[in-house]
């Protein structure tokens, strides 16, 4: 169950008052294409496979793999690189799924599996591919099953509206995090009823103005990525109670802004936990970041 421990949080607003700019700079070329949408799609004409599963490897250099499956049984998909394996549920009705290649360059194995009963699965298709990313930020600049959005999505339009006057990446991050922190409230009912395999809908979160940690992180990733800011959606454990949780990390070229006891890292990934920020618990839970244990990146 995702973020059950957050039921103890108090709902307060005023996120904007916690942030202050500490310098700015003109965006690097990485961020200059904020108005150019970076998409992720399944290209059926380029896909390899059989009657049950097709895997599209044509965009691996852009940081993602796409898969489509048709079966009467449950299907799973694995992305394997070095000693790291990511296992995903995929739909069995032919609806494509997009997954990031978050572990960098090298030889990947892609394995689609079909349920044979209970928790047992058999291989339906296995492909290998040598991946060379155009740049290391590619997996974190595009939509995927974990942060799904399109050029006409409500969250993409809202991100464009919020950052219309931004002149650098710091101002983009400030505007989006300020908005989410002030606008989205924690959904206590959903936290106690959400089912395994749940995937968020950033547009739905924006419409209802509430969600659990996965919803916060997926919305932030969608809005920042759509504006050209690399953003990771991270799962792991936080706090003394080892709460399983989701948060974000984004990349900045220069030191941009600070919060109380918190500073953006120069030319590095910086952790921000919107669930706690939006609910007035940022400092007590996040601290200096040492109480976070990252497990998975999407």
* More confident site: 138 or 11: 138
Residue 112 pLDDT exceeds 90: yes
Report pLDDT for 12.
28
- 115: domain CATH number is 2.60.40.10
pLDDT mean over 100-113: 98
Q: How many domains does the chain have?
A: 2
Residue 298's pLDDT band, with cuts at 50, 70 and 90, is: very high
Residues 160 and 248 grouped into a single domain: yes
- What is the Cα–Cα distance from 235 to 220, expressed in whole angstroms? 14
Residues 53 and 118 grouped into a single domain: yes
Q: Domain ends where: 87, 116, 134?
A: 134
In-domain check, residue 273:
yes
Q: Which two tokens stand for residue 118?
A: 């209970």
Residues 115 and 152 grouped into a single domain: no
Residues 186 and 249 grouped into a single domain: yes
Residue 259 pLDDT exceeds 80: no
pLDDT digits (tens, 9 = 90+) for 51-78: 999 999 999 999 999 999 999 999 999 9
* More confident site: 138 or 269: 138
pLDDT digits (tens, 9 = 90+) for 158-190: 999 999 999 888 888 889 989 999 999 999 999
Mean pLDDT estimate for the chain: 84
Residue 6 pLDDT exceeds 50: no
- What is the Cα–Cα distance from 204 to 210, expressed in whole angstroms? 9
In-domain check, residue 9:
yes
Q: What is the 3-state secondary structure (H, E, C) of 119-149?
A: CEEEEEEEEEEEECCCCCCHHHCCCECCECC
In-domain check, residue 39:
no
- 269: domain CATH number is 3.10.620.30
Identify whether the C-beta of residue 133 lies closer than 8 Å to the C-beta of residue 101: yes
Specify the DSSP element, H or E, that contains 117.
strand 106-117
Q: In what order do the strands lie in the sheet with 48-49?
A: 48-49, 53-56, 64-69, 97-100
Report pLDDT for 125.
98
Residues 78 and 195 grouped into a single domain: no
In-domain check, residue 98:
yes
In-domain check, residue 23:
yes
DSSP code for 93 = B
DSSP one-letter string for 214-246:
HHHHHHHHHHHHHTT--EEEEEEEETTTTEEEE
Q: Domain ends where: 112, 134, 156?
A: 134
Residue 262 pLDDT exceeds 90: no
Residues 260 and 115 grouped into a single domain: no
Residue 258 pLDDT exceeds 50: no
Q: Domain ends where: 134, 160, 186?
A: 134
Range of the domain at 208: 4-34+144-297
- How many CA atoms does the CB half-sphere of 258 hold within 13 Å? 9
């Amino acid at each position: 169950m995702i973020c059950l421990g957050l039921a103890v949080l108090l709902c307060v607003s005023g996120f904007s008052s916690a942030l202050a700019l500490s310098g700015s700079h003109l965006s690097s070329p990485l961020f200059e294409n904020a108005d150019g949408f970076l998409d992720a799609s399944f290209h059926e004409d380029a896909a390899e496979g059989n009657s049950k599963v097709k895997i599209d490897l044509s965009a691996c250099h852009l940081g993602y793999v796409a898969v489509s499956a048709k079966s009467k049984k449950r299907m799973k998909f694995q992305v394997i690189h070095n000693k790291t394996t990511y296992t995903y549920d995929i739909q069995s009705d032919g609806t494509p799924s997009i997954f990031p290649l978050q572990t960098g360059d090298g030889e990947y194995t892609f394995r689609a599996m079909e349920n044979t009963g209970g928790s047992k699965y058999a291989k339906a298709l296995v492909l290998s591919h040598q991946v060379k990313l155009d740049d290391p930020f590619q997996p974190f600049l595009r939509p995927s099953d974990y942060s799904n959005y399109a050029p006409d999505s409500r969250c993409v339009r809202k991100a464009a509206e919020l950052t219309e006057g931004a002149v650098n990446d710091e101002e983009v991050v400030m505007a989006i995090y300020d908005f989410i922190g002030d606008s989205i409230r924690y959904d206590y009912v959903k936290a106690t009823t959400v089912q395994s395999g749940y995937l968020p809908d950033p547009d739905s979160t924006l419409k209802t103005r509430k969600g659990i940690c996965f919803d916060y992180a997926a919305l932030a990733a969608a809005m920042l990525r759509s504006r050209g800011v690399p953003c990771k959606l991270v799962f792991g454990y936080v706090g003394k109670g080892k709460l399983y949780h989701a948060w974000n990390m984004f990349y900045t070229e220069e030191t941009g802004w600070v919060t109380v006891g918190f500073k953006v890292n120069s030319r590095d990934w910086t952790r921000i936990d919107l669930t706690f920020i939006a609910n007035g618990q940022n400092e007590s839970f996040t601290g200096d970041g040492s109480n976070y244990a990252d497990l998975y990146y999407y």
